Structure 1
């Protein structure tokens, strides 16, 4: 039997189905397109053609089968391909960061809506891949965004995403880096025009900081922000073992575990954010679908006003917003 793209797709679908993958056909197709660098149009045109006996094609077949094998072991497809689209932007991901999810776009979209035409100073706590903070910088044009995380491995992923997306968005630009030799680790990326025109270089800035919540901004390093956003760990510890293997076994536990009731980090954030906000500053937290009332109550207890909850596309509670009136 001749080997065709259609036969490879069928082969991959069968393998993933036997492994219990819910969307086996879709995943097999996506990995096939990735391995052969093709799309649906070209697949439909050539799916029944026998694949060529060439080294490059043989490598693509081998790569595809290797990716199918990884997926059958419940490795997330985004870890296999190394990327995930978020807010129309392509973000690199690996085992050190949460895979950006569409639910989180609700938070970014709300900040962009609330601050349209404005230029707030933004802090993204527990930044992970940087998908929230970098998206706000790129899509909102916010010129001073700080990405903070306790994990150096996560910050390395966020740095890669910030560099690549800054270069893609403000092309032609030069992205310069100023790395602090002091601890905690800190890096400032600035994007400016490369042609030396009258426009000032470094007009767009993304700072990355190693920080256990606000630790990098305390003790003589105080900064104030107009907006603080965060997607903190919020899954109760007891629930983590019940998650799908793709999440439980392959995404960082540090970014998932919200301690006994899932609210541990919201308590800390509600208590501390006011110290680092400018008057009238606002916080936006992603939450679990059943945490809207609890997190709203924590913010109100710590002096936030105008607290409200926003739903995601399926209609589930997803974001809590509150404003600190000092």
Structure 2
């Protein structure tokens, strides 16, 4: 058997299981199982596999079985790239999306050469907080989440990418665990924002295998934005700014919530697909 034949077999199995990008996922799993890259695969793909490759073959079949069960590719490989950095992920955290890079990129642009005190709420894997600390050189970053298991993942990523004790991690339901005198210059959040009823219609990879805690925005998807709009101003320095990731159809609703809570200079940005993805506001009082 050759690598090419293995890849064809894997693609067929994933396709029958209903995996949308069967060929691409099969290739990722093959490269992972054989600890190789695309260049070496292209060179070796038509050569007969050696006996010592059998362990890698078994690993490939094991991962195919998991992917056929619609377990997300990133949970199988245990990694996801975000902002050019490699993050460990598992079933306890939302898999970082490219859409979320829109938020991180805008904060980095707005605070280039500055050193704000940053708070990342609903941090999950820590991808936003860690990217800001690493790429922006922000020296004071706090990351919190309501999930203790998610915080373990975020702390692991923080130590792997930044080193130990570079970010403060805090178990908290939004602001509940914070002192009343704590203040930040920037508050960022990618909160749960999918309406409960919509979740059951999502792909099995998301609906069945990503944490409901990170997806469910309650009845209308705006539950956490209401809380964030109402509570964020108490923890901002004068002129502080909030940046929230939003669903593609939530710009007007979230902007209104911020305006009603006293925020001004409300702005929004689209992601690479031109969907509304980030809303920000400044609290000047």
Normalized against structure 2, the TM-score is what? 0.99
Give the whole-Å Cα distance in 1 for the aligned partners of 2:5 and 2:181: 60
3-state secondary structure, aligned to 2:113: coil
Partner of 1:193: none
- Structure 1 segments, 4+ long, off by >6 Å, are none
Give the whole-Å Cα distance in 2 for the aligned partners of 1:41 and 1:263: 46
Partner of 2:274: 315
Partner of 2:140: 144
Larger Rg: 1 or 2?
1
Give the whole-Å Cα distance in 1 for the aligned partners of 2:181 and 2:173: 14
Give the CA deviation at 1:37.
1.1
| Residues 1:298 and 2:257 are matched in the alignment | yes
| Residues 1:7 and 2:18 are matched in the alignment | no
Partner of 2:182: 223
Give the whole-Å Cα distance in 2 for the aligned partners of 1:222 and 1:243: 41
Normalized against structure 1, the TM-score is what? 0.87
Give the whole-Å Cα distance in 1 for the aligned partners of 2:269 and 2:247: 12
Give the whole-Å Cα distance in 1 for the aligned partners of 2:43 and 2:119: 48
3-state secondary structure, aligned to 2:242: strand
Give the whole-Å Cα distance in 2 for the aligned partners of 1:44 and 1:233: 41
Of residues 102, 112, 129 in structure 1, which corresponds to 2:125?
129
Partner of 1:34: 32
3-state secondary structure, aligned to 1:251: coil
Give the whole-Å Cα distance in 1 for the aligned partners of 2:38 and 2:27: 9
Q: Which runs of 5+ in 2 are unaligned?
A: none
Q: Which runs of 5+ in 1 are unaligned?
A: 168-174, 176-188, 190-204
| Residues 1:59 and 2:55 are matched in the alignment | yes
3-state secondary structure, aligned to 2:162: helix
Count of residues in correspondence between the two structures: 285
Give the whole-Å Cα distance in 2 for the aligned partners of 1:41 and 1:89: 21
Give the CA deviation at 1:4.
0.6
Partner of 1:185: none
